[in-house]
Structure 1
Amino acid sequence: MPARKDFLAAAAGGSGDPTAEARQQDEGADGRGMVAQGVPVAWGRPAPSEARTLAQACLFAAVVCLGNAAMPFSATAPTGLAVTLGGAGLAAAAALRRCSDVVPAIVLHTVLALVSVMVSVCIACSTTPAGTVVTAFGYVWIALFTAWFHSRRGALAHLAVMAGGFAAGLGVCDAPSALQTWGFVTVSVGGVALVLQSLVERLRRQADRDQLTGLLNRVAFAGAAERLMGCALRRGEPLTLAVLDLDDFKGVNDRDGHAVGDRVLAGLAAAWSGALRRSDVLGRYGGDEFVLLMPDTAEGDSVEVLQRLRDALPGARWTAGVAQWQGEGLAEWIARADGDLYAHKRRRVRAS
């Protein structure tokens, strides 16, 4: 009984709000809407959809460039530049589409920055005010793309490249009312991008998070696991999964009420999140069951990580099952860890 009371006091203590810890996790989330422990922006490979979308955008830009070369705005329009950029866009689209499953994030950021530079070069080479204004519309899709796919920091970096390039382009082409044009376009495009990025980030957080604990939900955890499995395969590094199950949690709900049970889960998630390494991925898999991914960690080395969780909340009573990835699918991998967990529980019952 004292142990149970210690657990409840430690895990359910604090503000008394079952979702307080979840809100704290939201405030500490990175720009992609994931908890700080584990779904970091620094993954070497983004989702293939980002590369495919950028490939489509490059294809459309290439078509626009080639169309402008075929039907220029004026007799002095730089048609040779339009043809060159159109060809470059077609090549970039084909390469991104072909390598969408393996292209690193840094390559996508570089391509997008180069597109901003190319738009700025076109503005610098424009020979009419109409050409300058129409070309500036190219910044819009760049802003929308970075707002949808990138963190606030990444979006700001691309908007800065756009703003600097636009200023240089307007200066070179000696556009009338250059300062006013730069300010209107930059503020308008940048403002729309940042509002959209905030909305996307909020929606992504809501979709990826367990409402009670603030941890990754089952679907988001599965996505994180698939990406880390791909990284482990490419790098030849070990990857270990732990399934964590609270002991006698049903009894907590029955004796003390579901509100207390919710506070226990939220408090436990907050304590564990603070104890994990930055590379670890913690999620709530359902009910009182949590799942933990430990990159670059062999099964034998996971004992140290799990001990950090026990030290974070000494009164908590839970059992862990561990399995190192052996190349199987996620469901089979979790089943192996689950089997290890229930083997531990059976041994404890026999020992008592």
Structure 2
Amino acid sequence: MVVQRIEVEDSAGLSWLGSAWLTRLRARTTTYSIVTATIVLFMGVLFVFEHFEDDITVFEYWLSAALLAASLLVAVQVFWMGLRFPAWVGILVILAHALVSVYYIGFSDERQNTIASLQQLPIMAMYCAWFYGARFARVTVAIIVGAVCLAILLGPFGQPGGMLGPINVLGLALFAWLCLEMGLFVRHRMMLQINTDSLTGALNRRGFFEQAAREIRRAQRSTHPLAIAVLDLDHFKSLNDGEGHAAGDDVLKSLVAQWISLSRPHDMLGRMGGDEFVMLLPETTATDATRLLQRMRDLAIHPWSWGVAEFASGETIDDAVRRADEAMYEQKRNR
């Protein structure tokens, strides 16, 4: 299972805070690391209150002390030294919170800690949704929510006359799942904004190369053909100079809409800049790609040229794009 996270350099992240300190911190670490450290520190500080309870056990005393020390160490590493966490650290935080929650809810009689654990569960669901892929987040949150709900029903707080009942369990599960789906929706919308060209709706350079890298790896594993095409509008500068940039923008938007409608669902279209575009065609040879592009060119609302290259074994995307670019300019010269 592939775990994905959003880095601070690639997202708006915490920039809304706007402080000079945060700006310097963001230059050294990531939004993922900052949020993870904040959650760990918050959980550690909550354990301070354990030491003021009269009925605290020896196990709970040393557990809370160890977690507090660990959270302070994590905070120093991130906020002071700018440490960048790998993805597995967040997974450990999620699992640690789940285990602590199950312990307090199912095996203790401390109401305060139980309520705190239940309140934190939706936050952890949103954290998992925001920084990890949808499949991983849904499976993980489903397991954790199921374990917590089972702990409630079997523990002292779910017994007849206890603090929690079946309605509370159902409400907790639904609210945690709602927070998960909200986090996934916002993450998806943000990734679309990051990876999409605002004018045409095609993938921007960053989005195209990210998706293309995954498709190239898949093609290399399966040994299926993979073609890439460079598309470039003809006489686009003359159009801008003669009719204005607004007319040029309209042509770009109309052409991209036409390309997308005429291409196949699994083809990828990206805008590299100006009037230059790149199309990735999975499971397609150079010959088949040429036929497809010729049909698209025959229906074009504005003339454009293209060049096609089929990926060779071990070839990088930059090499393939360069060969397709050379083929495109050769076509322009022949015309």
TM-score, structure 1 as length reference: 0.60
Partner of 2:316: 329
Partner of 2:72: none
- Aligned partner (choices 282, 292, 311) of residue 279 of structure 2: 292
Does the residue aligned with 2:271 lie in a helix, a strand or coil?
Answer: strand
Q: Does 1:209 align with 2:191?
A: no
Using the TM superposition, give the Cα deviation of residue 317 of structure 1 relative to its aligned residue in structure 2, in angstroms. 1.8
Q: How many residues align?
A: 271
Partner of 1:237: 224
1:114-129 map, 5 Å: 121-122=102-103, 123-129=105-111
User: Residues 309 and 149 from structure 1, CA distance in 2 versus in 1: closer, same or farther, beyond 3 angstroms?
Assistant: farther
Partner of 2:65: none
Retained in 1: the 8 A contact 2:108–2:156?
Answer: no
Distance in 1 (CA, whole Å) between partners of 2:148 and 2:284 is 47
Distance in 2 (CA, whole Å) between partners of 1:279 and 1:116 is 39
Distance in 2 (CA, whole Å) between partners of 1:252 and 1:216 is 24
Partner of 1:141: 124
User: Residues 292 and 126 from structure 1, CA distance in 2 versus in 1: closer, same or farther, beyond 3 angstroms?
Assistant: farther
Retained in 1: the 8 A contact 2:226–2:284?
Answer: yes
Does the residue aligned with 2:280 lie in a helix, a strand or coil?
Answer: strand
Partner of 1:8: none
Question: Which amino acid is 1:284 matched to?
Answer: R
Distance in 2 (CA, whole Å) between partners of 1:190 and 1:290 is 40
Retained in 2: the 8 A contact 1:253–1:260?
Answer: yes
Does the residue aligned with 1:321 lie in a helix, a strand or coil?
Answer: strand
User: Residues 247 and 266 from structure 1, CA distance in 2 versus in 1: closer, same or farther, beyond 3 angstroms?
Assistant: same
String of CA shifts for 1:192-224, please: whole Å, max 9, x gaps: 555544443333222211111011111221222
Retained in 1: the 8 A contact 2:267–2:280?
Answer: yes
Q: Does 1:267 align with 2:254?
A: yes
Question: Which amino acid is 1:167 matched to?
Answer: C
User: Residues 170 and 213 from structure 1, CA distance in 2 versus in 1: closer, same or farther, beyond 3 angstroms?
Assistant: same
Unaligned runs of 5+ in 1: 1-43, 80-99
Retained in 1: the 8 A contact 2:4–2:133?
Answer: no
Retained in 2: the 8 A contact 1:323–1:336?
Answer: yes
User: Residues 194 and 276 from structure 1, CA distance in 2 versus in 1: closer, same or farther, beyond 3 angstroms?
Assistant: same
Retained in 2: the 8 A contact 1:322–1:337?
Answer: yes
- Aligned partner (choices 278, 284, 292) of residue 305 of structure 1: 292
Q: Does 1:222 align with 2:209?
A: yes
Q: Percent identity?
A: 31
Retained in 2: the 8 A contact 1:208–1:217?
Answer: yes
**Alignment root-mean-square deviation, CA:** 4.4
User: Residues 272 and 158 from structure 1, CA distance in 2 versus in 1: closer, same or farther, beyond 3 angstroms?
Assistant: farther
Distance in 1 (CA, whole Å) between partners of 2:100 and 2:321 is 48
- Aligned partner (choices 314, 320, 328) of residue 306 of structure 2: 320
- Aligned partner (choices 151, 156, 159) of residue 169 of structure 1: 151
Using the TM superposition, give the Cα deviation of residue 247 of structure 1 relative to its aligned residue in structure 2, in angstroms. 1.5
Higher relative contact order (CA 8 A, sep 6+): 1
Partner of 2:235: 248
TM-score, structure 2 as length reference: 0.63
Does the residue aligned with 1:178 lie in a helix, a strand or coil?
Answer: coil
Using the TM superposition, give the Cα deviation of residue 290 of structure 1 relative to its aligned residue in structure 2, in angstroms. 0.9
Unaligned runs of 5+ in 2: 8-31, 62-85
Retained in 2: the 8 A contact 1:120–1:168?
Answer: no
- Stretch of structure 1 that moved more, 254-263 or 179-188: 179-188
String of CA shifts for 1:166-185, please: whole Å, max 9, x gaps: 33221111413314754775
